[in-house]
Structure 1
Amino acid sequence: MTLPENMTAKWAAFENLSPWDVHDLLQLRQAIFVLEQTSLYADIDGKDPLAWHFLIRNRETRVLAGAIRLFTGLENGDARIGRVVIARESRGSGLGRTMMLAGIDKAEALAPGCRIHVTAQAHLEKFYKSLGFRTVSKIYLEDGIPHIDMLRGD
């Protein structure tokens, strides 16, 4: 995993996140998904306690730059990566690729040979394909935003 020198990264189960981690994670997801993308949905969905969380922070400012959540042990031993979020000021820096590669590596470490699912915003299909995902659905609206289902493995 290639991480910019001014960034730190960590994986944590929900119960091992600090109160500040949880605050910053929810704040970032709200800022991007709800406010910037004007998507009114219930971000606090009760699933965060069941997920692994990957957080990338600016080393100096401690500002959360990006995050994903990962679920393993789904049907047939599959995994799912979701809530992929990058702060506006950190976009274009390669963090999306870094986070997704970390998610793929973690999923494969926890569930060797697993298939990995993502529900992707449709405009990011080419990005996810570059990571080995293939499209397995037609475009559909989720929370008012065009999405597609993608799968890696098998």
Structure 2
Amino acid sequence: MSYTHIFKAFHDLTVTELYQLLKLRSEIFVVEQNCVFLDQDDKDYACHHLLLFDEDQELVAYARIVPAGKSYAEASIGRIVSSSKVRGKGAGKVLVQIAIDKTKQLYGNVPIRIGAQYYAVKFYEIFGFKAEGEIYDEDGIDHIEMVLA
């Protein structure tokens, strides 16, 4: 399967793109994972947004690039999500690699920190992320911080 992507600062997103990314985040984080939380955390304004589309131009994966000092001392990739439609088909790998590349393009060769769902540690290790610290609960799901040095 081939994918195309859009990468934009918040204020450059179209209304349709913003709606699509918020809908996908809600479908996965709120409905599928059954987490009651306010997804719109006011960080989106400062972030760049990566939207991954399938061949039918449907949004199937998303991540946001967070500048240093917003979530962590380091630059970060957050809200990493893929639709159940494409899980196991490589979309997540494509998304994370583009997100890493775009983070380095924006901020240089800096460390990148993520708050990973614990079950996905092996997935992020493929890209060189290393777990740091203790497992913690976020919205009823085990997480751990990981850093790509």
Report the TM-score, using the length of structure 1 for normalisation: 0.90
Q: How does 1:95-110 map to 2 (within 5 A)?
A: 95-110=91-106
Cα root mean square deviation, aligned: 1.6
Give ranges in structure 2 of 5+ residues lacking alignment.
Answer: none
Contact 2:8–2:48, Cα closer than 8 Å, also in 1: yes
2:30 pairs with 1:34: yes
| Equivalence for 1:85 | 81
How many residues are paired up?
148
Contact 1:9–1:54, Cα closer than 8 Å, also in 2: yes
Q: 1:48 to 1:63 in 2, by over 3 A?
A: same
Decide which of 136, 139, 142 is 2:138's aligned counterpart.
142
Cα offset, 1:55, TM superposition? 0.3
Whichever residue aligns with residue 41 of structure 2, its letter is D
In 1: Cα distance, 2:17 partner to 2:86 partner: 18
| Equivalence for 2:66 | 71
In 1: Cα distance, 2:6 partner to 2:22 partner: 17
Whichever residue aligns with residue 59 of structure 2, its letter is L
| Equivalence for 1:10 | 6
**1:19-55 superposed Cα distances (whole Å, 9 cap, x missing partner):** 1111111111111000000011110111111100010
In 1: Cα distance, 2:95 partner to 2:62 partner: 7
In 2: Cα distance, 1:49 partner to 1:133 partner: 26
| Helix, strand or coil at the partner of 1:24 | helix
| Equivalence for 1:118 | 114
Q: Give the percent of matched residue pairs that are identical in Structure 1 and Structure 2.
A: 34
Cα offset, 1:73, TM superposition? 3.8
Q: 1:77 to 1:139 in 2, by over 3 A?
A: closer
Cα offset, 1:124, TM superposition? 0.3
In 1: Cα distance, 2:123 partner to 2:92 partner: 9
In 2: Cα distance, 1:143 partner to 1:113 partner: 32
Contact 1:72–1:110, Cα closer than 8 Å, also in 2: no
Cα offset, 1:78, TM superposition? 2.6
Whichever residue aligns with residue 133 of structure 2, its letter is S
Whichever residue aligns with residue 124 of structure 2, its letter is Y
Cα offset, 1:59, TM superposition? 3.3
2:62 pairs with 1:51: no
Cα offset, 1:137, TM superposition? 1.5
Give ranges in structure 1 of 5+ residues lacking alignment.
Answer: none
In 2: Cα distance, 1:115 partner to 1:74 partner: 13
Contact 2:68–2:76, Cα closer than 8 Å, also in 1: no
In 2: Cα distance, 1:120 partner to 1:77 partner: 16
